[in-house]
Structure 1
Amino acid sequence: MEIFYWLLFVVLGATLAGLELSRTSRDRITTSSAFSSFKNNYLLVYSLMMAGDWLQGPYVYFLYSQYGFGKGEIGQLFIAGFGSSMLFGTIVGSLADKQGRKRASITYCITYILSCITKHSPQYKVLMVGRILGGIATSLLFSAFESWLVAEHNKRGFEQQWLSLTFSKAIFLGNGLVAILSGLLGNLLVDTLGFGPVAPFDAAACFLAIGMAVIISSWSENYGDPSENRNLLTQFWVAAVAIASDEKIALLGAIQSLFEGSMYTFVFLWTPALSPNNEDIPHGFIFATFMLSSMLGSSTASRLLARSSLKVESYMQIVFLISAGSLLLPVITSFLVAPSNVKGGSISFSGQIQLLGFCTFEACVGIFWPSIMKMRSQYIPEEARSTIMNFFRIPLNIFVCIVLYNVDAFPMTVMFGMCSIFLFIASILQKRLMGIAESQRPKPQDWTALDERERETEPLNI
């Protein structure tokens, strides 16, 4: 493997280590022992849940191809997953608010374990059922757990700022370290030990079962809607009214959809972007490098969120602009760097430039997750939190399905350019969100002027 990849990995690792070791008291949040116990319990569960998800990701396409399915059939299976997440996501989110977030989290584990079991069958219909179950599980993963955390955090009376610490640690571990370890474990099971491409799914089911046991034994139940007489349609209506009546919630949903839509498009495009002529690139090592970049971003986010004087709405404008610029690099290099016509070989010079930009984007992803979680905890009403969060995923899933269906219809530069435009729009919407939040924030009283007015109207003592 070329020294370029190792050099990039070492530089990112050294930067991350330096950032973590250089923390001062200003970068840390002082908490209580009760909160630390609560936080560690959630981080354990979240890490197990993410291990169950990350173990599957790298091998889904490979497994389907091993069963003899072509690109078109595999594409249909992927679309089924995103489509089921879109169709059933809001329903399961509403049920989580109504029936309880703990029950919804357990349902996620059961649903995803069943999805893993279907991977043992080479039958197309069985695999399709598995994709539908996986789509439902994904909706629960990105709504029920966060909703449970926010509600339980507030119910136990912990300080609001401490939430940001849990968010940043969850992304650092679950979306960074656990992703890297899951990739290594999957490689060990499939390649080193030769257990075959189904082995990572069996390992994922084991982690999910362990996480479910922890949830059952240690989590208490909480609900979004304290009223017992609200049915599912009423929950939908409450969520829709909240989004329509509060511009901050609508803006937050649009920002999330624009960023995550660009992120999922990037997931599909980074491999052909770095190897347009079938260059020999180390996919697993590049994935680990991306995850290291994401950890660097989440570490940066923990510092930013620890400072109460710095508003998340402010720095996220800059993050979205940097993201837009990083995904514009493939477009820029297509004009400035002469394309290579040599088939195979090592990564090209333009590929190296793009890889640096992609690592920058992954760092922005690491900042985005805990920051968007923090904003959701501030702006989304508790009574319909899971429902609203899954409403946000509807345009995202529609967009991803369209991209999957038409991935070969447009040049890659057009797709990256579109993502860059979306991220620039997200920055504009973020600025609008900050303006509204600032205008609605209570202004401090001018006590000096108030005292003077009181003295003027005070009767004279004779």
Structure 2
Amino acid sequence: MSFYQINLAIFTACNAGLLCQQYRRDRQLPKTVEEALEATPTHIEETGTSPSSSRRDVRKFVNDFFPVYAFAVAADWLQGPYIYAIYRYEKDLSEKMVAALYAAGFVAGAVSASFAGRLADRYGRRLACLVYCGVYTVTCLTMLSNNLVVLLAGRVAGGVATTLLFSVFEAWMITEYHHRGLDEDTDVPGPALRLSSVFGYMTTLSCVVAIVSGIIGDALVASLGGRIWPFMASISCCAIAACLIATSWDENYGAKSVGGNALEDIRSGTAAIAEDKRILALGVASCFFEGAMYLFIFFWSAALKSARAHSSSSPWAIAAADEDLPYGLVFSSFMCAMMAGSSLFSALTPVHTQESAAHVLTTAILVASACLGGAAVLTDERVLFWTLCAVEAAIGLYFPSMSFLKSEIVEDGVRGRVYSILRCPLNAFVVLVHSLDEEGDDHRSQVFLALAALLLSAFVIIRLNFKTAPSFDH
């Protein structure tokens, strides 16, 4: 077995252990709830809700949301590892042109962020999720062309789709969660399904889907030839997700007051951010952290290829300098590390508070900062790979903690607008960095060091605006 195959096997085994531990812990809570309900005969008379109906509500919510979310993120993950490679090595575009295409996608994301959430709040989050499926299909189809204008249009569509993926699906889920009464406390210890657990499951599921997608993508490329086939598989995932949304989801909307013009809607979303320093702090943190994540995605393959070239003369070298990296296996390993991070978020406590989630968030930011700083100077392929895996583990901690904090702080009526507006500075930040892109290892190292410094500032901002005592309640 190769180095990357061995690491993937170890990571998979570790994650299997974490998932088993999480499954055993989660099964204990429903049992406790049922026993408490049986010990409270008046519960059904007072609330009209039986343990079985509560479980049915939870099961229906899970069955409605998670399969759709799995196919939606699968469409993104399947082709993710191959975008840079297909532009750079199959279409023979220069690094500057590839960076320009990436930048175009982020510009489109920034522009769409100003209106996507507003339109979703007004016309429906379910409709917006269907639009994501359609727009992402267009993105994948453009990869069949070698025409630069068509490729540019594909990146623009991809930027819009990414904004929708990371805003409207979550907005629909949170509103539906509250609408179905899954957040209601009873005489027993808390609701049957906690929102913090849902966010942990979302990240874990996303990681599992990413791991499988990486393996499937690698198999498609190896068996059918050409890196275009993962994009075709993404189209199938979009079609399945759209069918499930159309047949099983109810529509939900933002505030009833959403009826003014676009400027008023944007102003109300911006005012909600400006009036709460905690939302503003989360916006800054998400800008720096997710910006670092997107730039990490852009640079990791080149960083590993460079490390392979530097260490190829060593007797401990993994492979020859001219041997291609197993992109699918590396990507799956990264997703295993991310999954471990999300499992750790759920394992810390079944009942997260704002304080505990903020503590997890600052820990993730600090770990990512340290690892990106290290990645700027490391030249050994093995050590660099493990360092990049640690960055992915921090990302796994980041997403559920950030999502939980936003769900606690942002009002539901303006959630879509606020979530999408928060993505504006993120996209602008990534575009700015890409506009300064240059060839060579020195530039990449400088970017990693700058990102590490920005993450340190995000760490300080979160610490100043949130209580970050762990206060984990087991």
TM (normalized to structure 2)?
0.82
- State the match for 2:336 in structure 1: 292
- The aligned amino acid for 2:127 is R
Match of 1:351 in 2: 381
* Residue in 2 that maps onto 1:427: 459
Shift of the 357–198 alpha-carbon distance from structure 1 to 2, 3 Å rule, reads closer
Match of 1:218 in 2: 248
Q: Distance in 1 between matches of 2:375 and 2:142?
A: 38
Gaps of 5+ in 2: 31-53, 184-190, 310-320
- Asked whether the equivalents of residues 345 and 360 of structure 2 are also in contact (C-alpha less than 8 Å), the reply is no
Please say if 1:14 is aligned against 2:59: no
SS of the counterpart of 2:115? helix
Query: What amino acid maps onto 1:432 in structure 2?
Result: L
Q: Distance in 2 between matches of 1:305 and 1:112?
A: 36
In the alignment, does 2:227 pair up with 1:186? no
Residue 114 of structure 1 aligns with which residue? 138
Q: Per-residue CA shift, 1:157-207, capped at 9, x if unaligned?
A: 112761122211121112x1111222222222232123x433222221111
Higher mean displacement: 180-189 or 56-65: 56-65
Matched residue SS, 1:225: coil
Q: Using the TM superposition, name which of 23-32 and 425-434 deviates more.
A: 23-32
Instruction: Tell me the secondary structure at the aligned position of residue 407 of structure 1.
Output: coil
Q: 1:35 to 1:261 in 2, by over 3 A?
A: same
After superposing the two structures, state which structure 1 stretch, 157-166 or 231-240, moved more.
157-166
Is the 2:372–2:452 Cα contact (8 Å) retained in structure 1?
Answer: yes
Aligned mates of 1:19, 1:203 — CA distance in 2: 29
Partner in structure 1 of residue 62 of structure 2: 39
Deviation at 1:332, TM superposition (A): 5.4
SS at structure 2 position matched to 1:32: helix
Following superposition of structure 1 onto structure 2, how do residues 218-257 of structure 1 map, counting pairs within 5 Å?
218-227=248-257, 229-257=259-287
Give the CA deviation at 1:28. 6.1
- How far apart are the structure 2 equivalents of 1:182 and 1:357? 22
Q: Tell me, in whole angstroms, the C-alpha distance in 2 between the residues paired with 1:295 and 1:365.
A: 9
Q: Quote how far apart the aligned CAs of 1:401 are.
A: 1.4
Match for residue 316 of structure 1 among 355, 361, 377: 361
Partner of 1:141: 165
Q: Is the 8 A contact 2:289 2:455 kept in 1?
A: yes
Q: Structure 2 CA distance, aligned partners of 1:61 and 1:320?
A: 26
Q: Is the 8 A contact 1:328 1:417 kept in 2?
A: yes
| Deviating more after overlay: 223-232 vs 148-157 | 223-232
Corresponding residue to 2:449 among 411, 417, 422:
417
Counterpart among 56, 67, 72 of residue 49 in structure 1: 72
CA drift at 1:437: 11
CA distance in 2 between partners of 1:332 and 1:186 (Å): 31
Per-residue deviation, 1:122: 2.3
Q: Residues 228 and 255 from structure 1, CA distance in 2 versus in 1: closer, same or farther, beyond 3 angstroms?
A: closer
Aligned equivalents of 1:237, 1:323: Cα separation in 2: 33
Counterpart in the other structure of 2:203? 171
- The 1:437/1:120 distance shift into structure 2, 3 A limit, reads same
Alignment match, 2:305: 275
- Which residue identity is paired with 1:54? W
Is 1:25 aligned to 2:25, yes or no?
Answer: yes
**In 2, Cα distance between equivalents of 1:416 and 1:125:** 31
Contact persistence 1:96–1:386 (CA under 8 A): yes
Distance 1:274 1:69 in 2: 20
How many angstroms does 1:2 deviate by? 4.1
Alpha-carbon shift at residue 331 of structure 1 (Å):
4.2
In 2, distance between residues paired with 1:332 and 1:126?
Answer: 38
Which residue is equivalent to 2:235? 205
**Equivalent residue number for residue 105 of structure 1:** 129
Q: Which moved more, 1:214-223 or 1:318-327?
A: 318-327
**Residue identity (%):** 32
Give the aligned partner of residue 400 of structure 2: 370
Is 2:171 the partner of 1:156? no
Q: Which residue pairs with 2:97 in the alignment?
A: 73
8 Å Cα contact 2:335/2:392 also seen in 1 = yes
Query: Residues 336-393 of structure 1: CA distance to partner in whole angstroms, max 9, x if unpaired?
Result: xxxxxxxxxxxx6x33222222111111111111111111101112122111112111
CA–CA distance in structure 2, aligned partners of residues 25 and 187 of structure 1: 34
Counterpart Cα distance in 1 of 2:143 and 2:377: 41
Q: Is the 8 A contact 2:299 2:444 kept in 1?
A: yes
1:325 is aligned, of 370, 377, 397, to: 370
Distance (whole Å) between structure 2 residues aligned to residue 29 and residue 92 of structure 1: 38
Name the CA distance, whole Å, in 2 between partners of 1:242 and 1:50.
29
Asked if structure 2 preserves the Cα contact closer than 8 Å seen for 1:29 and 1:162, the reply is no
Aligned amino acid, residue 21 of structure 1: C
Question: Which residue is equivalent to 2:36?
Answer: none
Q: Structure 1 length as normaliser, TM-score?
A: 0.84
Q: Distance in 2 between matches of 1:386 and 1:44?
A: 22
Aligned to 1:450: none
The count of residues paired between Structure 1 and Structure 2 equals 420
**Cα distance in 2 between the residues matched to 1:26 and 1:186:** 32
- Distance in 1 (CA, whole Å) between partners of 2:29 and 2:450 is 39
**Aligned letter for 1:25?**
R
Please say if 1:124 is aligned against 2:168.
no
Paired residue type of 1:59: Y
The secondary structure found in structure 1 opposite 2:251 is coil
Q: Unaligned stretches of 5+ in structure 1?
A: 334-347, 439-462
Q: 1:263 aligns with which of 293, 313, 326?
A: 293
8 Å contact kept, 2:360–2:398: no
What code does the residue aligned with 1:85 have? G
CA offsets, 1:106-141, max 9 Å, x none? 111111112222222322222221211111111111
Indicate conservation of the 8 Å contact 1:27/1:303, yes or no. no
| Secondary structure in 2 matching 1:157 | coil
Q: Residues 148, 354 of structure 1: CA spacing in aligned structure 2 closer, same or farther, 3 A cutoff?
A: same
Is contact 2:375–2:388 with CA below 8 Å preserved after alignment?
A: no
